[in-house]
Structure 1
Amino acid sequence: MSDTANVEQRRTAGRSVPPTRALALTYRVVLRQLASRGRIIALTALALVSTVAGFALGQADADLEAGVRLVSGLGFAVIIPVVSLVFGGAAIGDLREDKTLVYLWLRPMDRWPLVVGAFLAALTLTTPITLIPVVAAAVLAGSGGGLVAATVIAGLVAVIAYCAVFTLLGVALRRFIVWGLAYVLIWEGFIALGGAGVARFAIRKYTRSIIVDRTGVDLDLADFSQMTGIIVPLLAGVVALALASWRLARQDID
């Protein structure tokens, strides 16, 4: 009998772990793995840059457009995607690197609870670290409640979509940080500006569209309705998690 067959036999032997229990187990393990003090301090410091910038903008009595450009250009172009990449990619990627994933993988349970549990752990950490400082920047910029509401809605959509997509990267690729940064900085930052077709694959286009729809301030890479800006990234997140589950079920874990 082959090694793969032996592994599969051991994995499926005995009573299968219920999905809810498997999800909760994965969530606890991954959350503990991700929540290192150094990582949280470093990423929180990065996110607080937006709050400081928002305070400085408010002190200068900047207008709504300046506030929108600050939030979209710093919060949604750098802070939210980068923090989501670190946590989302590491949710599975770190477990694989330190050989912890094999212990979960060999348990008799479906693969989707493992992926969803890891995604939820990443989301648990990413959401407060990014949204609290970025929303605070919108408040301190003094640009009005429209920008604050837009930041909350677009921020929630962005965090969910980015964490899901980067969880997939962590499952599929070992150098997920490199590929994730290439997506955020090169694809979304430059290539997506070149045409409407490629821009459809940029999460930033949809989150900016939410902000534009609610504030009326014109931004590049933002021409969808608010509803489209919400629905498409969330659907992309569901697809990413489904692909991650499929990929994890078919790859060898050592």
Structure 2
Amino acid sequence: MNSTIAMITFRSMLGRRRALLLFVLPGVLLILSLVLRLTDTNDLDVDTSVLQKFALGAVLPLLALIAGTGVIGPEIDDGQIMYILTKPIPRQVVVLTKLVVAIVLVTLFAAVPTLLAGLILGAPAGLTPAFAVGVLVGGVAYASVFVALGVMSRNAVTIGLLYALVWEGLFGNFAPGAKKASILQWALSVTDSLTDASTVHSAVGLTTALVLLVIVTLGATALATVRLRSLTVASAE
């Protein structure tokens, strides 16, 4: 990891206009949780629904998309990435640094708010930390996929949005086969293993989920590194 690149990336992400979404999405989650608690309309089913469908199913993929594509995509689009690539810094270090920044952002703006939302709701002990861990684990995989997408395509946000909404949101929830190929379901499997709540169910076994999470994370990171190297070669030519 390169600390200089990390600091520049953090400043860039938190200074952009679209970085407001990093605050808006978790803000909506916390406000919703507070309203439900104050109106006394929450119970185990409602708590699970908020944490699973909104925090894990909506806030997480959208925040990971913003963070993952944002840490590197704009730099490639405007050519600023070439300043970094002309330095004697291994390409894998560049990718890993960008990925770490994306994961930190996902942790701060998705995992932590999920934990706070569960506490505000007054969810049963065990449910809140289970979902926070699930969001964190899923966030690592999502971030790696979206960082790779940001390196590979100028339309990364559009493609990522379609992936998050159509594949994860639609097929991942309703198509039995697609559920097993869903980061959301893998993260939910981790959550399910950490809580005894009868309202949490995953379509994927824990071992399978963990293996697939590791494969996707490593594979996407490797793909981003290879693609970044090809960008260097192309610009040199």
| TM-score, normalising length: structure 2 | 0.88
Larger radius of gyration between Structure 1 and Structure 2: 1
Residue 240 of structure 1: aligned partner: 220
The 5 Å alignment of 1:110-125 reads: 110-125=90-105
CA distance in 2, matches of 1:122, 1:35: 12
Secondary structure of residue in 2 paired with 1:137: helix
CA distance in 1, matches of 2:127, 2:104: 24
CA distance in 1, matches of 2:66, 2:139: 12
The 5 Å alignment of 1:1-254 reads: 23-36=2-15, 38-59=17-38, 60-213=40-193, 214-218=195-199, 222-251=202-231, 252-253=234-235
Secondary structure of residue in 1 paired with 2:72: helix
Conservation of the 8 A alpha-carbon contact between 1:150 and 1:215: no
Give the % identical residues. 24
CA distance in 1, matches of 2:168, 2:21: 24
Report which stretch shifted further, 176-185 or 54-63.
54-63
Conservation of the 8 A alpha-carbon contact between 2:179 and 2:204: no
CA distance in 2, matches of 1:82, 1:253: 32
CA distance in 1, matches of 2:12, 2:211: 31
CA distance in 2, matches of 1:158, 1:78: 12
CA distance in 1, matches of 2:69, 2:200: 29
CA distance in 1, matches of 2:196, 2:118: 12
Unpaired segments ≥5 residues, structure 1 = 1-19
Conservation of the 8 A alpha-carbon contact between 2:48 and 2:199: no
CA distance in 2, matches of 1:217, 1:57: 21
Give the letter for the 2:149 counterpart. L
Give the letter for the 2:113 counterpart. P
CA distance in 1, matches of 2:214, 2:54: 22
Q: Aligned pair in 2 of structure 1 residues 181, 65: CA closer, same or farther (>3 Å)? A: same
CA distance in 1, matches of 2:86, 2:196: 50
Report which stretch shifted further, 222-231 or 52-61.
222-231
Give me the CA root mean square deviation.
2.1
Conservation of the 8 A alpha-carbon contact between 1:135 and 1:152: yes
Give the letter for the 2:83 counterpart. Y
CA distance in 2, matches of 1:149, 1:122: 21
CA distance in 1, matches of 2:131, 2:166: 23
Shift of 1:218: 4.1
Give the letter for the 2:197 counterpart. G
Shift of 1:202: 1.2
CA distance in 2, matches of 1:162, 1:35: 19
Secondary structure of residue in 1 paired with 2:154: coil
Aligned length: 232
CA distance in 2, matches of 1:38, 1:50: 20
Shift of 1:182: 0.5
Shift of 1:169: 0.4
Shift of 1:172: 0.5
